[in-house]
Amino acid sequence: MKNAMALVNCPECQRQVSTSATTCPGCGHPLRPSSTAEPGLLGKLAAVLGVWLVVPWAARLLAFLAACVVAVIVVLSSR
């Protein structure tokens, strides 16, 4: 036996839409509030701390890779 889906009317176009839909397939009207809330103070602090810890490592990695490329070019050009 199949589970019956509940239907509601879209507030914009009055089309019947499933309650599990996030937007109306007919007109695109959002049916649920957006869950993309801005991060709070703790989230912002974590992001700043993450960038502060990661950026120096990324810069060192890029410098190391550039030095490796230069070393390979020097070795290959000396042959």
HEC letters along the chain: CCCCCCEEECCCCCCEEECCCCECCCCCCECCCCCCCCCCHHHHHHHHHHHHHHHHHHHHHHHHHHHHHHHHHHHHHCC
Percent of the chain with pLDDT over 70: 90
- The confidence band for 21, taking pLDDT boundaries of 50, 70 and 90, is confident
Q: pTM higher than 0.85 for the full model? A: no
Higher pLDDT, 10 or 3: 10
